[in-house]
Every structure is written in structure tokens, then in C-alpha cells.
Structure 1
């Protein structure tokens, strides 16, 4: 009986340190070093309403918005995951064919691969600047705006995550769509 009580005390102490203590330490460091990221990088309106997160993609399907990469998890932030389907899967081929058709891609104007293929986690909130520019005509037409006004939104939101070491600039789809809406564009 004494051995059992000693084992239980050690188990409780280990759980308190490894589960409670470690989690509290990581949370405290996150709050101190990067509080915005630790809280989910939430984007809020002026009235405090949460619109979304800079870290998780959201589904946009209306023509007046930039569209993100396809998602194998239907943009469900509760769990990331790829489709685990083989490149020879007819389901995967059918989804890609539908996506290419939705963009109206042609042999003369091919769709950037990232807009037809889901990211590994299925929640990537960014697309390349090239993929954003591919969508400019559709958005400008849907919002009845000049093309250069939509391109300006891309220019204002594009960034290089690795500085000079990454040649392709990225844009956050949600942030660009909010910028279009805030400008009362369309």
C-alpha cells in the first residue's frame, strides 16, 4: 500500500509539473513575447466584433472577393489536415477540374497551381502575389472598379516572409478582402 501511495504522489507531482507547469510557462512566454499571435492573431472590427484570424484561411466564393487556396478540411479551424488522396485519385482530379473551371482558366491563361491544390494543412491563409493578380479581372468586374484599384490593394498587402531570401511575395486573403470592403469598393 505504501508503494501505491508513493507512486500516486509521484504521478500527481509529475502531471502538475509537466502538464500544468509547462503549459502555464509556454502560455506566459507567448503572452509576453508575442501576445497577438498567442491569442490567435484575431482581426476585429472597430466595434470589437471578431472577423477572423490572420492564421487560418476562410472560405470566400463570391466573385467580388479574392479566393483562397482550396481546403481539404473545408476551412475548419478545429483541425488541420490534408486530403491524403493519391495524385491519381478521381476525387482529387474532379475537385481540381471544378476549381479550374470556376476560375475560367484556359491553356492561354493557366491557373497558378496553388489555386487548384489544397495546402498541406488545408488552412493556409496566404496566396502568392501571382495568384492574387490572377483574380484581379474577376474582382474588378464584380465590384465595378478599375483594375489598378484592385491591384493597389494587392501592392499594399504583399510581403516577403523571408525578406530577400524569398523571391515570391505573399498576401493574406482575409486582409485583402477586408481592405476591399473598407474602401467601400463595390
Structure 2
């Protein structure tokens, strides 16, 4: 029994050190050297204070800020510990009511805006953590932002254009705007 137990225990300890200590530290170290910004969570800061991550959406409800995609996470929106969609289908009455409520909120915040409401402003994503919105969703909010901030619509559109991110590698995803980065740039204007 001792002849079997000793090599098994030695192998267990060796593999635990390799797989549980050496490998994770090596991968983290390489990641920190090769991609320091991403390894630290892609944090965005303003005046030396960290305000959030470029990778996780944040809730903005003030009419003077751009609003991101709604989040289905609980107990609070954009809760990274509870990432996941609502799993409600398009014909589910709860989903229909939620979308109607979001449409009403957008219309109440900007009653003069008669443009079509982009779908990403009224539906949640699969993760519930989307930090980006489409260009259509950003441009839809221009009249409200310009009115609330006392800026010209062209100033707000120029800010959107300056913070626009193109498709990844030229073909993955769609052209988008990071809401937190856009709102920080908006604050810097003033």
C-alpha cells in the first residue's frame, strides 16, 4: 500500500503546484506584460478616480447622459456577479411589457423626438452587461443630450463620431459606441 500511496501523493503535490500555482501565475504575468490595460480590467478614470470598466455597462438615468442598453441582471442593473439575460422570448407578455415600459420612458424623456427607437435601447442583451450601444442608439439620443447640456446637436454628434469604435478586425460585430467613454467625454466638454 505504501508503494502505491507515496508516488500518488508526490504526483498529486507536483501537479497541484504546476496546475494550481505555476501555470496561473505564468498566464497572469504574460497577460499583464502583453496587455496591461486589459489585464487590469480596462478601467476608465476621470480626475484620478476610477469610474468603471470599458467592458461592463453602467446604468445612466439622468437625461443629460447617454443611456446604455437595458440590463436584465439582478438585484441591480449591470451586476457582473449575476451576468445573464432574462431568457424571455419575444412573445412573452413580460418581455412585451418591459419593452413597452422602456419605450414610454424614452418618449417621456424626449417627447419631441419622433425618430424610430433603436432596438438596443429597449431590449436587453444575453449577458446583461453590454457597455456599448449602436450608432443609431447614440444618434437617437442627440436631441435630448443637446437640450439638457445646452449644446448644439452637431457638437454632440461630433463627440459620438470621435468615440465610435469600428468593427473588430474589420468584420466582427458592428460599429459601436462605449457609453461610459462617451459620457466621460461629454463631461470633459463642460
Q: TM-score with structure 1 length normalisation?
A: 0.89
Contact 2:167–2:173, Cα closer than 8 Å, also in 1: no
What CA RMSD, in Å, does the superposition of the two structures yield over aligned residues? 2.0
- TM-aligned CA deviation for residue 168 of structure 1: 4.1
1:4 aligned residue: 5
SS of residue paired to 1:18: helix
Contact 2:46–2:184, Cα closer than 8 Å, also in 1: no
2:19 aligned with 1:13: no
2:121 aligned with 1:115: yes
2:63 aligned with 1:63: yes
Paired with 2:88 and 2:27, the residues of 1 have a C-alpha distance of 35
1:75 aligned residue: 78
- TM-aligned CA deviation for residue 88 of structure 1: 2.7
SS of residue paired to 1:165: coil
Q: Aligned match of 1:171 in 168, 177, 185?
A: 177
Contact 1:129–1:168, Cα closer than 8 Å, also in 2: no
Q: TM-score with structure 2 length normalisation?
A: 0.87
1:85 aligned residue: 88
- TM-aligned CA deviation for residue 82 of structure 1: 1.3
- Seen in structure 2, the aligned counterparts of structure 1 residues 166 and 98 have a Cα distance that, compared at 3 Å, is same
2:97 aligned with 1:94: yes
SS of residue paired to 1:10: helix
Paired with 2:58 and 2:140, the residues of 1 have a C-alpha distance of 19
2:140 aligned residue: 134
SS of residue paired to 2:17: helix
Paired with 2:58 and 2:49, the residues of 1 have a C-alpha distance of 16
Runs of 4+ in 1 over 4 A off after TM superposition: none
SS of residue paired to 1:127: strand
Paired with 2:167 and 2:174, the residues of 1 have a C-alpha distance of 9
Describe how 1:47-62 pairs up with structure 2 within 5 A: 48-62=48-62
- Seen in structure 2, the aligned counterparts of structure 1 residues 7 and 79 have a Cα distance that, compared at 3 Å, is farther
Unaligned 5+ runs, structure 2: none
For these two proteins, the number of residue pairs brought into alignment is 182
Unaligned 5+ runs, structure 1: none
Paired with 2:120 and 2:50, the residues of 1 have a C-alpha distance of 28
SS of residue paired to 1:78: helix
